Structure 1
Amino acid sequence: MPHSAPIRNAAITWKEDTPVSTEFDDMYFNIQAGLAECEHVFLNGNNLKERFTNLKASQFVIAETGFGTGLNFLAARQLWLEHAPENACLHFISVEKFPLSQDDLTQALKHWPELKDGASQLIRLYPQPVPGFHRLSLDGGRIQLTLMLMDALDAYSQLEARVDAWFLDGFAPSKNPEMWNERLFSQLGRLSKETTTLATFTAAGFVRRGLQEVGFDIEKVPGFGRKREMISARFSLAPSRSHVKAPWFEHTKTQPRPNAVVIIGAGIAGCATAYALAQRGIAVTLLERSEQIAQAGSGNRQGALYAKLPVDHNAQGQLHLSGLMHTRRQLKQLDPQSKIWGDSGLLQLATNEKEHKRQQNMLARTQFDGNIIREVSAEEASRLAGSTVSHPGVFMEYGGWVSPQDLCLRLVDHPLISVQTHTQVSGVTQNPETKHWSISVKGGSTLETGYLVICTAAEAKQLTQFVHLPIKPIRGQTSIASASGRPALKTVVCGDGYISPAREATYCFGATFDLHDLDLDIREEDHHANLGKLHAVLPEIANSLATEELTGRAAYRCSTADYLPIAGPAPDYEAFLSDYAKLRIDRKWKFADSQPKHLEGLFINIGHGSKGLITGPICGEIVAASMLGEPFPVEKSLVDAVNPARFIIKNLIRKSI
């Protein structure tokens, strides 16, 4: 993984109500005419008004090398809303290693009351200083901002997109030479296509030469104000695939944009994928076998919003952290009154020496900032929890709880989403000529669609297209008890199990973990096991429940062999075996321009285990981006980590298939 260092808010001073970076000793914008300079350099320098007006594609991608106050983004947004087709989407991608705090951003944007509508949305959605990609959705989905909080080179090395226009911005090269370098220019070339343009305020010789070397034709044009010249450029090379090291992970979109999609399975993964597509203007039919949605693993009364952070920075930890922040933003938009979720934070207690050492190593080696996770004593943990705690641990400020079923209901409450319950799918087949998918429903009926997403957890293995996936169901039972007359828990508390603050005067806690028993009957021994886990973290509450008659529910989680979700296009299993057979002989074999073969129009989003609340929604975005050929909402390494084809490749290398 490319990053693990903490992200710090920018240190600034104010000069005439204008922010000045103390790190780079440079102003964020022109004091007298910041917006006018932005329009001249970046909007006009890329001819955006004309390109937006005449746009025929369903999306347009702008990428920027320094977000700063967001002025360029807000100006581009306003121009887009005024001139682009209403059914098209603007993807704006930017990077910031030292983001302004929300308060400083709010103060800076007061300069431009004409941008107030966009600024208010940006301020409300503005991410906390957490490393990684942050996808913000504005204007009902017409504007998608991907804000990458990390080093610019790391960010663009991890971006998977095709950029239409570049805003080469940031502090002046003399102030910030680390950003303006050949390696970054190389990434700009990698992400460009034959129609890509670029504009920047500088005309420095090394910038011109660096851009020319990666394929841009440079033109010096009049600069803004006292700046005599600036650069306007156009990319002139065909995109190269020579950089591809793992061709089997490439996403190649060849089908037209869908008007409609069918999704099978209406748990968190299915509902989140439906929402991601509906937000992009695509009609979705959601098929569910039960009488209601969210009846299986997504049917628990409460679930924890919890990122499992590792000792060493890895894909799973970064996916969990990115997914947690994404789900939080989504909840704030869907439920601003916090009726179905609680922003309570989360305690992970070290109930034994092994866990205590793991937490200490994690805090020391990953350098997570205190706003993400911090060490707490047993005394502080007791204060945070509102009940006696006898163990130290760590506190996650961004943790919390959510009602999974209520979240699913909010996600599907969309005019473009149609839910069909009592619909048991028995199989899917593809028409070899039309490539459409025929869905067989028990009872004799069939449905047909050009685009199909499977979100049926472990039951996906019953379909012939996914029989090769190493997935398994894991039984879990939660316990439910009255909270009346007991300590009022103030935060989610985790040990071997978890308990959330009471909702509607009821505590939900658990859960058991059984690999070998798929019986869903409620068992007293499992209630007893849940009480034992509770006693290890909150003895006061557990003791008060010792004689209580508990209720509960049991359901299956879907786990994968590597404990990561499976999300993306469905691989053509036989074609992969044939095309990449040489991996059995040499795992480093270089395949010349080998485009991976997928089952056209078929996608999957499963395998979230006990973390579906934080991985299901972000994986829904990954599926939507893959289907539509959009920029991905997370780093390429994370997209690869959840790619459904990864198990085929691993098994070829191991010679097990």
Structure 2
Amino acid sequence: MEWRNGAPFNPQFDDVYFNTEGGIEESDYVFIQGNDLPRRFSALERGSFNVLETGFGTGLNFLGCAHQFLANNQCAHLNFISIEAFPLTRDELAAAHQSLEHYQREAKWLQQAWPSACDDTQTMIIHPRITLTVIFMPVEQALEQLIVCAQPQTQAWVQPCFDAIMLDGFSPAKNPDMWSKEVMQQLAVLSHSNTTLATFSCARMVRDHLQSAGFSLSKRRGINSKREVLAAKAGEKLAQPISPATTRSSQHEAPWWSFPSQPLPQRVAVIGAGLAGCQTAARLAARGIAVSLFDRHAAPAQAASGNPQGVLYTKFSHRKEPLSDLALQCYQFAQHYYRHQLDISAPWSGVLQLPKNDKDATLQRLVGQRFIQQPELVQLVDQAEASKLSGMTIRSNALWFPQGTWMTPPEVCRQLIANQRLITTHFNTTVAQLDFCSDRQQWALQSQPTLDSPHFDQVVLCTAYDAHALLDPLLPLKTRTIRGQIDRVQGDIVRQLRTTLTGEGYIAADGDGTATIGASFVVDDLDPAHRLEESAHNRHLVAQLSPQLQAEHANLTQLDARVAFRCASADYLPIAGPVPQYREMVETFAPLRKNRRMDIRNYGHYQPGLWLNIAHGSKGLNSTPMVAEMISSMICNAPSPLSQRLQRAIHPARFLMRDIFRGVSL
């Protein structure tokens, strides 16, 4: 970004982002008033209002939209998705925002949340009731990410649509790709019958492409230097596949991941009050949905989420693959969410990740090279710098997460559900069975104690490995239970630690000479008793992190120990999304055993209103905020913050479909 005549300017497209004189008024008139947003915001009582913007730029339209939403709505949620192929840095945004006097509050929120790595798709919670997702791709590619399925037979059933579209960007003469016929057709697929569209351009090409996609147009009086601007309303869905660009990835792919849309729920039951359950309940409540939160324990976070200290960091890869891409998106989302949206007491003293062996050291060097332009996200540091950061001698290079920290998971859970008028808690309550009542189209919960009102429109299972007891036993979720023991220790050596150290094991010091060390890793062992050999093993792991810890680990005073059981999937990714109907899925997609490219034009078969959010393993602090945001969006028929590729990567039906593709007998 450059500055010309006091205005932010893009030299690549030879155009200004906005005029500093009258820019706010122009944005408000063309896009906010052009989509009739103040009136529509005030009429929304719950759920999400979904806005799509084709060019984020400096975020001016988003800032105005967020400002109007908070001024006109007190109970629902704004889901704003924008596209930007050439993102500005945080500093460039801050410079561009200086002249936006009316939006300084919203601008501060945006700058705080802006990601260090503008890669693929990034989601930010700007306000408890405002979610911003920016897709950092060219517009046609980005819209393809939003389209669930390009097959017209299933579009009407499965496609979450937008309520308003802001068709913005540099002028058609300077950026014609953004105004192409294919783009307008994609926008039509992402629209419903009440979707509105607004744009500053009345160019003949733009009008022709919008009309050919089924939009009805009306010209409005212009503003400032613009003689006329354009408003539009979506028409009927297209009857044919919309474009080669949209269909190229799905024309030979059965859309098993897609499912029919459902009415906005009145009541949702969330079963399990650990990190996954409390995050899900909080994000649903932010959308105006009444939630009943159940747990068999007397308080939240009493099982796997109950450790006194958990570490917020992640494991990056030098390659783009689902596991590392999800980790990147979740980490940036989570660290901002905890720091700015929750009142969490955490030291924010960083996390130092040491290599476990020579191979790990090589991979860390590659990660450091990949993120060399984002040192505030992660950076490779040498032995001297690692020793300085940690306060102890470190014998290798390491990855430094300056925005990492440790925090107390039970405190996080309490904060998530505290003072939430739409969340009703039911502790000391065991849900033993779920029954779908077809006449009511609701789920009946059989619990102990019994409920006065046991019927719910939708149910989200956040009960880790216990979810199997409430599901079809034939459904292959491919999870395993991992016994993990942590130990609380005390000693003078702990006071030297300036940051959290991780490697084969970890040590997180709380500042008063005590620390949590761990953790053991024992598969399919459900014994809850503390074991001396596992305490010794944890001390051994910590001893490998530094010579000082190696010398003093035997002298650490044992305070207590805790055993918990984590749930992990076979591919180490969460399992989150709608619960498949096993027999119907097998029957519909069985032909794929013989021909994976067979054109099966059916959406998947899923239990109506039944969802899973499990298998976060040891990274629940990192992954549960984003996954909860995804599930709450899907429940409200809103576009997901995760790309279609990543949604499929964590989909509950993925193991079943892999078995079908491999010809496994079911």
The answer for the alignment partner of 1:159 in structure 2 is 146
Q: Give the CA deviation at 1:478.
A: 1.3
Q: Give the CA deviation at 1:272.
A: 0.7
Contact 2:474/2:582 (8 A) holds in 1: no
Q: Provide closer, same or farther for how the CA distance between residues 248 and 205 of structure 1 changes in structure 2, counting only shifts above 3 A.
A: same
The answer for the alignment partner of 2:294 in structure 1 is 287
Q: Provide closer, same or farther for how the CA distance between residues 238 and 335 of structure 1 changes in structure 2, counting only shifts above 3 A.
A: closer
Q: Provide closer, same or farther for how the CA distance between residues 26 and 505 of structure 1 changes in structure 2, counting only shifts above 3 A.
A: farther
1-side partners of 2:496 and 2:118: how far apart?
30
The answer for the alignment partner of 1:13 in structure 2 is 3
1-side partners of 2:585 and 2:96: how far apart?
52
Q: Give the CA deviation at 1:134.
A: 3.5
1:325 equivalent among 323, 328, 332:
332
1-side partners of 2:317 and 2:399: how far apart?
13
The answer for the alignment partner of 1:415 in structure 2 is 421
1-side partners of 2:310 and 2:4: how far apart?
44
The answer for the alignment partner of 1:145 in structure 2 is 132
The answer for the alignment partner of 1:348 in structure 2 is 353
Q: Give the CA deviation at 1:458.
A: 0.6
The answer for the alignment partner of 1:38 in structure 2 is 27
Q: Provide closer, same or farther for how the CA distance between residues 77 and 239 of structure 1 changes in structure 2, counting only shifts above 3 A.
A: farther
Q: Give the CA deviation at 1:463.
A: 2.0
The answer for the alignment partner of 1:461 in structure 2 is 468
The answer for the alignment partner of 1:305 in structure 2 is 312
The answer for the alignment partner of 2:55 in structure 1 is 66
Q: Give the CA deviation at 1:300.
A: 1.1
Residues 1:580 and 2:569 aligned together: no
2-side partners of 1:240 and 1:646: how far apart?
29
Q: Provide closer, same or farther for how the CA distance between residues 398 and 240 of structure 1 changes in structure 2, counting only shifts above 3 A.
A: farther
2:385 equivalent among 376, 380, 384:
380
2-side partners of 1:589 and 1:258: how far apart?
35
How do residues 244-255 of structure 1 correspond to structure 2 at under 5 angstroms?
245-254=253-262
What is the letter of the counterpart of residue 623 of structure 1?
Answer: I
Extract unaligned runs of 5+ from structure 2: 148-159, 242-246
Q: 3-state DSSP class of the match of 1:546?
A: helix
Residues 1:200 and 2:199 aligned together: yes
2-side partners of 1:584 and 1:367: how far apart?
44
Contact 2:123/2:329 (8 A) holds in 1: no
Contact 2:127/2:341 (8 A) holds in 1: no
2-side partners of 1:268 and 1:631: how far apart?
23
What is the letter of the counterpart of residue 142 of structure 2?
Answer: A
Q: Give the CA deviation at 1:181.
A: 4.2
Q: Provide closer, same or farther for how the CA distance between residues 173 and 385 of structure 1 changes in structure 2, counting only shifts above 3 A.
A: farther
How do residues 558-597 of structure 1 correspond to structure 2 at under 5 angstroms?
558-592=567-601, 594-597=602-605
Q: 3-state DSSP class of the match of 1:600?
A: strand
What is the letter of the counterpart of residue 570 of structure 1?
Answer: V
Q: Give the CA deviation at 1:368.
A: 7.1
Q: 1:545-585: CA deviations, max 9, x gaps? A: 21223232111110112211111121111211222221222
Q: 1:455-487: CA deviations, max 9, x gaps? A: 110111122336522111111111221154545
1-side partners of 2:496 and 2:107: how far apart?
38
What is the letter of the counterpart of residue 562 of structure 1?
Answer: D
2:456 equivalent among 429, 449, 452:
449
The answer for the alignment partner of 1:278 in structure 2 is 285
Q: 1:399-449: CA deviations, max 9, x gaps? A: 222211111111111222222222223222222432322222346768332
Q: Provide closer, same or farther for how the CA distance between residues 278 and 60 of structure 1 changes in structure 2, counting only shifts above 3 A.
A: closer
1-side partners of 2:219 and 2:315: how far apart?
50
What is the letter of the counterpart of residue 255 of structure 2?
Answer: P
Q: Provide closer, same or farther for how the CA distance between residues 215 and 443 of structure 1 changes in structure 2, counting only shifts above 3 A.
A: closer
1:499 equivalent among 491, 498, 507:
507
Q: Give the CA deviation at 1:626.
A: 1.5
2:563 equivalent among 554, 563, 566:
554
What percentage of aligned pairs have identical amino acids?
34
Residues 1:532 and 2:531 aligned together: no
Residues 1:359 and 2:364 aligned together: yes
1-side partners of 2:473 and 2:166: how far apart?
42
Residues 1:608 and 2:616 aligned together: yes
Normalising to structure 2: TM-score of the pair?
0.88
Q: 3-state DSSP class of the match of 2:315?
A: coil
1:628 equivalent among 636, 655, 662:
636
1-side partners of 2:177 and 2:100: how far apart?
30
What is the letter of the counterpart of residue 236 of structure 1?
Answer: G
CA RMSD of aligned residues (A): 2.8
Q: Provide closer, same or farther for how the CA distance between residues 571 and 492 of structure 1 changes in structure 2, counting only shifts above 3 A.
A: same
Contact 2:272/2:462 (8 A) holds in 1: yes
Residues 1:508 and 2:548 aligned together: no
Q: 3-state DSSP class of the match of 2:528?
A: coil
Q: Give the CA deviation at 1:367.
A: 7.5
Q: Give the CA deviation at 1:510.
A: 1.3
Contact 1:570/1:599 (8 A) holds in 2: yes
Contact 1:158/1:635 (8 A) holds in 2: yes
Q: 1:292-342: CA deviations, max 9, x gaps? A: 221111111211112221232111111111111222222123445x51x23
Q: Provide closer, same or farther for how the CA distance between residues 646 and 366 of structure 1 changes in structure 2, counting only shifts above 3 A.
A: farther
The answer for the alignment partner of 1:6 in structure 2 is none
Residues 1:262 and 2:269 aligned together: yes
Contact 1:59/1:88 (8 A) holds in 2: yes
Contact 1:568/1:605 (8 A) holds in 2: yes
2-side partners of 1:492 and 1:240: how far apart?
57
1-side partners of 2:451 and 2:231: how far apart?
58
Extract unaligned runs of 5+ from structure 1: 1-10
Q: Give the CA deviation at 1:33.
A: 1.1
Q: Give the CA deviation at 1:29.
A: 0.8
Contact 2:593/2:660 (8 A) holds in 1: yes
Q: 1:587-631: CA deviations, max 9, x gaps? A: 111112x13222112111101111111111211112111111012
Contact 2:188/2:237 (8 A) holds in 1: no
1-side partners of 2:71 and 2:312: how far apart?
39
2-side partners of 1:369 and 1:139: how far apart?
25
Contact 1:487/1:541 (8 A) holds in 2: no
Q: Provide closer, same or farther for how the CA distance between residues 335 and 43 of structure 1 changes in structure 2, counting only shifts above 3 A.
A: closer
Q: 3-state DSSP class of the match of 1:545?
A: helix
Q: 3-state DSSP class of the match of 1:249?
A: coil
Normalising to structure 1: TM-score of the pair?
0.90
1-side partners of 2:240 and 2:455: how far apart?
35
62-71 or 293-302, which moves further after superposition?
A: 62-71
1-side partners of 2:143 and 2:491: how far apart?
49
Contact 1:351/1:391 (8 A) holds in 2: no
How do residues 25-174 of structure 1 correspond to structure 2 at under 5 angstroms?
25-49=14-38, 51-52=40-41, 58-83=47-72, 86-138=74-126, 140-141=128-129, 143-159=130-146, 161-174=160-173
Q: Provide closer, same or farther for how the CA distance between residues 423 and 300 of structure 1 changes in structure 2, counting only shifts above 3 A.
A: same
What is the letter of the counterpart of residue 401 of structure 2?
Answer: M
Q: Provide closer, same or farther for how the CA distance between residues 278 and 175 of structure 1 changes in structure 2, counting only shifts above 3 A.
A: same
Q: Provide closer, same or farther for how the CA distance between residues 246 and 87 of structure 1 changes in structure 2, counting only shifts above 3 A.
A: farther
2-side partners of 1:237 and 1:562: how far apart?
41
Contact 2:165/2:196 (8 A) holds in 1: yes
Q: 3-state DSSP class of the match of 1:580?
A: helix
